[in-house]
Structure formats: C-alpha cells, structure tokens
Amino acid sequence: MEKMVALPDETLVPAIGQGTWLLGEQSGKRGKEAEALKTGIEAGMTLIDTAEMYGDGKSEELIGEVITGYDRNRLFLVSKVYPHNAGRKRIGKSCTETLKRLGTDYLDLYLLHWRGSIPLAETVECMEQLKKEGKILRWGVSNFDTEDMEELWRVPEGKNCAVNQVLYHLASRGIEYDLLPWMREHGVPVMAYCPLAQAGDLKRGLYESPVLSEIGAAHGCSISQVLLAFAIRNGDIIAIPRTGKKEHALDNAKAAELELTEEELLELDRVFSAPAGKVYLDIV
C-alpha cells in the first residue's frame, strides 16, 4: 500500500482500508471472512472500519479475533457509536464494550454513526472525555452534510473532528459539489463508504459500464480496482471497501497502485457526471 492520507493531526493512514459491515454475522462464513481480513492487513489495508451496530457487535468480535497476533500499533481501528448512545449516559459503556469485543484498550478513531437527537455539543464533550481517558485517540462523524459540519464547527472543540465518513462512489458524486470542497477547505479528510456501490447493487449497470471495462482492460485491472482508484484519486479521501474473500482483498489493496490518466478521468466525468448543483447526502 503506497498511498496514504494525512489526518488533521498529520497521522498517516492507508488510502484504502477495510469495511466490515455484514462480516462476522454468519458462523459458516467467519473463517473465510477472517482470512480475507488478514490478507487485507498483510497487503497494507491496516485501517479497519466497524461499528457497534454491525451484527450487534459480531463484526467487532470477528476483528478482535483477527487482530490477535498483529502489532496493535500498526493497525488503525475505527468504530462507531449509535446516535442514541452518543451522550453522557451511555457513551462510556458503548465504548468500553466495543473495546472489549475488539480485544484492545484504545480506538484510533471513534465516529458518531449519524446524527440523532443528542445535542452535538454533548457528543463532542463526551468524545473529548474519552480522549482524556485514553480510550480513543481521536473522533469524527459520519453521514454529516455540509450544514451539519458547519454546525459542528460552531460547537466548542467541534473543530477537533478528524474525519467525516460518507457514501461516495463514481455513480454517487453529490459530495463533490459542496461537502467535499468544505472538507478540503477545513483540512478534514472524507472516508468514503460503499466505494464499490456495494458491487453495483446501489447502481444498476455500474459493473456493466463499457467505459469502466475499457479503463480496467487498459491497466489490466478489475472494475472494482478502477472504482477504488477513482475514489482515492486526489489523495485526501480514504476508501473502505468490504470483502469476505481473500482474492478480493488482494485486489482492493492493489488498487492503490493504479493511477488513472487525465484522459480516463475526463472519460469517467463524461459518463458519470459530477454534480452541477447541491445534492443532499446519499445514505444507505
């Protein structure tokens, strides 16, 4: 993995990490999924994204099993707290249980999964407290649109936000209009979820697109690799594809080596146009 993205505190993380939604939920698949995650780690995808929500903790437990035997300092573990747990009453318990399932004593990054009814100021205060206690190194948000980020910036210590994780892929480029420029202006990276549009499920026909096949063929790469190279093309987006297969994990890690040419990017723009006006955040 050669491409890295700098966080606001200058920590470098791999531009392609590993998503884990739906992993660990079916006992018959756990072995293969664990193997895929290990293969991914060894290929440089040391950033692993999970959430207390995923399989009600089963995804975190699977990661916990996978990472025993790896040097914890070389991993970058991200988890997310449910909005209804992201306040003074419950965040401590949520975080402790996440740490227990992961078998670690700190998270590299803890995200508010999406906005709920607990005031942002309270969530930020709680995140800062978890930092002081050493349970998390930094915090961020997820599914925040531009207005939410602006509101966060008005909250005390809200500017300590390290990442905003949102849906982004070639066929869903809405954030390029105002959210991505806002994030760039404020020096906070975007973490792109569903970077493969769930293998095309979120956008019918994506994997049958002739332009993607042509670009892939020109580089000897798969369509998934072209999609990942597109997502991380500017050096300030982290993509977190999920796979339960080790051959796909290798594919995804190798996508970091693929450089799309100016012409190819123009061709992609022609078919999958960038937004001409405000598009509200896509969410799954």
Nearer to ligand NDP among residue 10 and residue 193 (C-beta): 193
Residues that bind ligand NDP (CB under 6 A): 19-21, 49, 113, 142-143, 165, 193-199, 222, 224, 240-245, 248, 251-252, 284
H-state helical runs in the chain = 30-42, 58-67, 91-102, 120-132, 146-154, 179-185, 210-219, 223-231, 246-254, 262-271
CA distance 161 to 9: 10
Longest alpha-carbon distance in the chain = 55
Cβ proximity to ligand NDP: between 191 and 268 the closer is 191
The residue annotated as part of the active site, out of 54, 110, 168, 193, is 54
Give the amino acid at 44: G
Name the residue with the smallest CB distance to ligand NDP.
19
| Residues 6 or more apart whose Cβ sits within 8 Å of residue 104 | 64, 67, 72, 77
For residue 223, how far is the Cα from the chain centroid? 19
Closest approach, Cβ 132 to ligand NDP, in A, equals: 25
C-alpha to C-alpha distance for 227 and 268, rounded to whole angstroms: 10
- Minimum Å gap between C-beta 139 and ligand NDP is 14
Q: Is 54 a catalytic residue?
A: yes
* Beta carbon nearer to ligand NDP, 24 or 133: 24
- Closest approach, Cβ 28 to ligand NDP, in A, equals 14
Q: CB of 29: closest distance to ligand NDP in angstroms?
A: 9
| Cα–Cα distance measured from residue 14 to residue 28, given in angstroms and rounded to the nearest whole number | 30
Q: Between residues 115 and 248, which has the closer beta carbon with respect to ligand NDP?
A: 248
Question: 73-109 burial, b if ≥16 CB within 10 A, otherwise e?
Answer: eebbbbbbbbbebbbeeebeebbeebbebbebebbbb
Q: Which is nearer to ligand NDP, 158 or 241 (CB)?
A: 241
Compute the least distance from the CB of residue 200 to ligand NDP, in Å.
8
| Residue 153 CB neighbours (<10 A) | 13
DSSP 74: G
Residues known to be catalytic: 54
